[in-house]
Structure 1
Amino acid sequence: MKSYGEFCALARGLDVVGDRWTMLVVRELLIGPSRYSDLHRSLPGIATNLLVQRLRSLEEAGVVVSTEEAAPVSSRVYSLTEWGRGLQAPLVELARWASPLMSAGAGADHSRGRWLVFSVMALFPKPDALPAKKRFPTVTARIDADGESVLVTSDVSGVNATVTCSGAPADVTVTGTSEQVFATLSGSTARRSQAVVSGPEIKVGLLRQLTALALTA
């Protein structure tokens, strides 16, 4: 990317991450370390040569590091450096700011179940930002959406999400399209847009308590 040539922290930050696709590459690596093939599959529409360029630029800038993993992976794996992980907070805030744009639905856009990991980061505040006398309930939910699974873990320390395997144990399961799951997690009360939630009634009730604490609820 051509530099803006401005002695300004924002401009210099955009010199590093302002190119098209760059922040989405960072999003994927915030979800977890990935091989090139995983990144290409998770970023529909990006040209192979462009992904190579973005990864090279991020490595040169010190945002990303790559390592050769031994068997059974036997591949180069990309991950964020400590400095690169510092992008999580501003990207989560950007996603929160853009949450109203999700109300239009997915339409013809691509969707991936794994992207719900980042949605969870954006939907739920830190425990110290909750209203007085409120706390996150203790519950785990496995999300099955668009052929991928995500495990959401909630307790008094906060809400976290990770990509998991199909069939991973959890208190409740949430099944549907990414659009339906996002609506459910965001506290939407429109039944027709809801994912299917299964599990013991008391655990489903805890999940409802959790979604009621979403910033979009």
Structure 2
Amino acid sequence: MTQRTYQDACGAARTMDIVGERWALLIVRELVFGPKRFGDLRSGLPKASQNVLSQRLRELEQSGIVRRVQLGPPASVHAYELTERGHQLEPTLIELSRWGAGLPAEPDVEMSTDAFMLLLKALYRPPTDAPVTARLRLQVGTDAFEVGVSPSGISVARGRSGPVDVTVTGTVRALRDLMFGGTALRSAVSAGDIDVHGDIAAAQRFFLLFGATPGE
């Protein structure tokens, strides 16, 4: 299939020539926090057919946005990762996430774990009256992310790299309800939707650091 083009010299148009096809930019989103196997990409983008996903990956490879890699032991399988040029799209994705957070959203529409973590980066608002510095681990299924917050910003990384103040375990939906849906942490813990190990006060402070409510 020949890739469509706007035939426009504008930088925005030329960018859209590369990442404007359906699913292309969402593939980039799914790879922001590290390489993924094809099956993992499909899990994060369940509405994308296998054929379309394969086609978009080929196009992104040809454009120098994505490359294939061999994961080391214990996986030892082929995967996809962003190139340096691909990673340059992260600020654009963050701004799109921030802009889109104010749009109405269907309550039952799912969000991938990586999309949620990118949303954290988009909506983080450090308080000016009482600075907060903390390091948390968010565990969603088999995925673990370490999130550091400070007056200077927020960092998000997949994996376990060091000690944290608290570990919070739950589904993306449960974590979204905590951060943006008005659910109280202790209520979520009592209901069994969220599990907290460590400093629960640090977790409570963390969940107050995000200043916009998606869908409102």
Scaled to the shorter chain, the TM-score interval is 0.7 to 0.9
1:96 paired residue number: 98
Q: Which structure has more helix as a fraction of its residues? A: 1
Identity %: 31
Deviations 1:62-109 (A, max 9, x none): 11122334544332222111111111111101101111237653x1x2
Change (3 A) 1:70 1:113: closer
How many Å apart are 1:34 and its aligned residue?
1.3
**Separation of aligned partners in 1, 2:144 and 2:99:** 26
SS at match of 1:90: helix
2:11 paired residue number: 9
1:50 paired residue number: 52
How many Å apart are 1:121 and its aligned residue?
1.6
**Separation of aligned partners in 1, 2:178 and 2:104:** 13
2:70 paired residue number: 68
2:207 paired residue number: 211
- RMSD of equivalent CA atoms: 3.0
Deviations 1:26-65 (A, max 9, x none): 0011021112222122221222221111111111111112
How many Å apart are 1:133 and its aligned residue?
5.6
1:144 paired residue number: 139
How many Å apart are 1:195 and its aligned residue?
4.1
Question: Residues 113 and 150 of structure 1 are in contact (CA less than 8 Å); yes or no, is this contact kept in structure 2?
Answer: no
| Aligned residue-pair number | 205
**Separation of aligned partners in 2, 1:147 and 1:69:** 17
2:177 paired residue number: 183
* One-letter amino acid of the structure 1 residue matched with residue 63 of structure 2: A
TM-score (norm 2): 0.78
How many Å apart are 1:119 and its aligned residue?
2.1
Higher relative contact order (CA 8 A, sep 6+): 2
**Separation of aligned partners in 1, 2:171 and 2:165:** 20
SS at match of 2:32: helix
SS at match of 2:98: helix
**Separation of aligned partners in 2, 1:103 and 1:178:** 15
**Separation of aligned partners in 2, 1:189 and 1:3:** 44
1:121 equivalent to 2:121? Answer yes
1:39 equivalent to 2:48? Answer no
1:28 paired residue number: 30
Question: Residues 112 and 148 of structure 1 are in contact (CA less than 8 Å); yes or no, is this contact kept in structure 2?
Answer: no
Give the unaligned 5+ runs of structure 2.
none
**Separation of aligned partners in 2, 1:119 and 1:104:** 17
**Separation of aligned partners in 2, 1:91 and 1:115:** 10
1:172 paired residue number: 166
Change (3 A) 1:67 1:142: closer
**Separation of aligned partners in 2, 1:32 and 1:12:** 26
2:157 paired residue number: 162
* One-letter amino acid of the structure 1 residue matched with residue 9 of structure 2: F
